[in-house]
């Protein structure tokens, strides 16, 4: 990043702006192919700005109108971001990972089993189907879980052996540093913990790679010990929205697991995984006020839970595709005080062993944390 840009706009504000507006690409094929559909950052592209790799929307309706334009890359793969004719930053795109060129013995490309997120995270959706995804009434309105499956870009069920094979290759060839295993919610009381436990165990047996598992709170807290024992280093249980009204409107199925159950699950999980190793994903921009999000974050931090607040991105093909993304100002009003609260509590993204908070690419939160430090 040029010093001119740093003087003009602090890095955390720029990341915040880019994630809010998205960018237009002069060379759509630069960098790692962006994903459309699926869990996690979709309709995004990974870009490295000032040493930070962040996910920036590139396929959303808003990004097509963005004032930020990423120019053609030079011979070294560096591009410039321009706004109103002025260069605001230099960026580079992470290279396509080498493990994408491989396939299993039975012919499944590794990239259908797990993908690179951010700079050094191997991410997979172990089960690409969900009890919450069966009807328009029950589905989480922001979710695109079925799209990548329908488009043939992934397979529905990744076996523990397949995950272990891909993880070993991604560590050896591309130096990935941690792994995120999420899952659609299967029927049953464990809410996905069982398949995550067997997957974590097999990956851990194959390669020394810190793993975060992500699922809804299982009915029985004993699953936290089982997941930890299986090799999971960190746990994500994602609230998505923080007030009952917004949860009921945006995710009517998932909202059947109450905020009280989430809170009890966090209390039970933190002693098992450790302070700061349990986290939650909060999507800002779905209707919760900044004050409501910060109030929830304060409670979570008090429990030792890292609240990863991310700007909602309207994904094409979902019921919320025309819902506006939150403004950069709205995110700033959350992320700046949140970074202060985290700092005061001694919880830092960088101290996570694995997972979204540690990766940080989907939010400017870790940039705000770094700016404070």
Chain residues binding ligand SF4 by CB under 6 A are 40-41, 55, 117-118, 121, 123, 180, 356, 359, 361-362
Residue with smaller CB distance to ligand SF4, 185 or 366: 366
- Retrieve residue 214's tokens: 């992500």
- Alpha carbon distance 312, 363 (integer Å): 10
Residue with smaller CB distance to ligand SF4, 82 or 281: 281
Taking the complex as a whole, the smallest distance from the CB of residue 29 to ligand SF4 amounts, in Å, to 20
- Alpha carbon distance 115, 30 (integer Å): 17
Residue with smaller CB distance to ligand SF4, 231 or 360: 360
Taking the complex as a whole, the smallest distance from the CB of residue 222 to ligand SF4 amounts, in Å, to 27
Taking the complex as a whole, the smallest distance from the CB of residue 53 to ligand SF4 amounts, in Å, to 8
Taking the complex as a whole, the smallest distance from the CB of residue 60 to ligand SF4 amounts, in Å, to 15
Exposure on the CB side of residue 173, measured as CA atoms within 13 A: 17
82 DSSP β-pair partners: 69, 87
40 by Cβ neighbours in 10 Å (0-12 / 13-18 / 19+) ranks as buried
Q: In the block, which residue shows the tokens 């986290």?
A: 279
179 DSSP β-pair partners: 122, 211
Residue with smaller CB distance to ligand SF4, 56 or 242: 56
Residue with smaller CB distance to ligand SF4, 88 or 313: 313
Give the CA dihedral 59, 61, 66, 71, nearest 10 degrees.
30
Exposure on the CB side of residue 240, measured as CA atoms within 13 A: 25
Taking the complex as a whole, the smallest distance from the CB of residue 115 to ligand SF4 amounts, in Å, to 9
- Retrieve residue 196's tokens: 């995550």
Taking the complex as a whole, the smallest distance from the CB of residue 236 to ligand SF4 amounts, in Å, to 9
Taking the complex as a whole, the smallest distance from the CB of residue 74 to ligand SF4 amounts, in Å, to 26
Under 8 Å between Cβ of 351 and 45: no
Residue with smaller CB distance to ligand SF4, 5 or 114: 114
- Alpha carbon distance 80, 251 (integer Å): 38
155 by Cβ neighbours in 10 Å (0-12 / 13-18 / 19+) ranks as middle
Residue with smaller CB distance to ligand SF4, 46 or 197: 46
Residue with smaller CB distance to ligand SF4, 5 or 213: 213
Taking the complex as a whole, the smallest distance from the CB of residue 363 to ligand SF4 amounts, in Å, to 7
Under 8 Å between Cβ of 282 and 310: yes
């Amino acid at each position: 990043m040029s010093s001119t840009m740093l003087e003009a706009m602090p890095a955390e504000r720029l990341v915040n702006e880019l994630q809010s507006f998205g960018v237009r690409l002069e060379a759509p094929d630069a960098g790692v192919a962006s994903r459309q559909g699926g869990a996690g950052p979709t309709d995004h592209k990974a870009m490295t700005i000032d040493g930070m790799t962040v996910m920036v929307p590139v396929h959303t309706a808003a990004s097509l109108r963005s004032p930020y334009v990423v120019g053609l890359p030079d011979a070294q793969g560096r591009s410039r971001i321009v706004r109103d004719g002025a260069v605001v930053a230099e960026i580079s795109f992470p290279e396509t990972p080498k493990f994408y060129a491989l396939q299993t013995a039975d012919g499944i490309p590794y990239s259908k089993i797990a993908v690179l997120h951010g700079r050094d995270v191997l991410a997979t959706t172990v089960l690409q189907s969900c009890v919450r995804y069966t009807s328009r009434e029950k589905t989480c309105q922001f979710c695109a879980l079925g799209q990548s499956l329908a488009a043939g870009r992934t397979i529905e069920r990744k076996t523990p052996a397949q995950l272990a094979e891909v993880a070993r290759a991604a560590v050896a060839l591309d130096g990935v540093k941690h792994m995120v295993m999420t899952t659609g919610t299967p029927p049953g009381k464990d809410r996905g913990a069982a398949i995550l436990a067997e997957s974590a165990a097999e990956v851990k047996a194959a390669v020394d790679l810190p793993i975060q598992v992500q699922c809804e709170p299982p009915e029985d807290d004993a699953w936290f010990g089982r997941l930890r024992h299986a090799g999971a280093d960190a746990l994500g249980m994602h609230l998505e929205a923080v007030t009952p009204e917004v949860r009921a409107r945006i995710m009517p199925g998932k909202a059947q697991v109450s905020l009280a159950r989430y809170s009890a699950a966090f209390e039970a999980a933190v002693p098992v995984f450790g302070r700061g190793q349990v986290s939650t994903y909060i999507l800002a921009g779905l209707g919760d006020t900044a004050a409501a999000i910060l109030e929830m974050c304060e409670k979570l931090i008090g429990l030792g839970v890292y609240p990863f607040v991310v700007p909602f991105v309207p994904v094409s093909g979902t019921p919320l595709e025309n819902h506006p993304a939150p403004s950069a100002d709205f995110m700033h009003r959350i992320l700046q005080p949140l970074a202060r609260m985290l700092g005061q509590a001694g919880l830092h993204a960088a101290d996570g062993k694995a997972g979204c908070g540690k990766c940080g690419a989907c939010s400017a939160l870790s940039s705000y944390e770094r700016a404070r430090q």
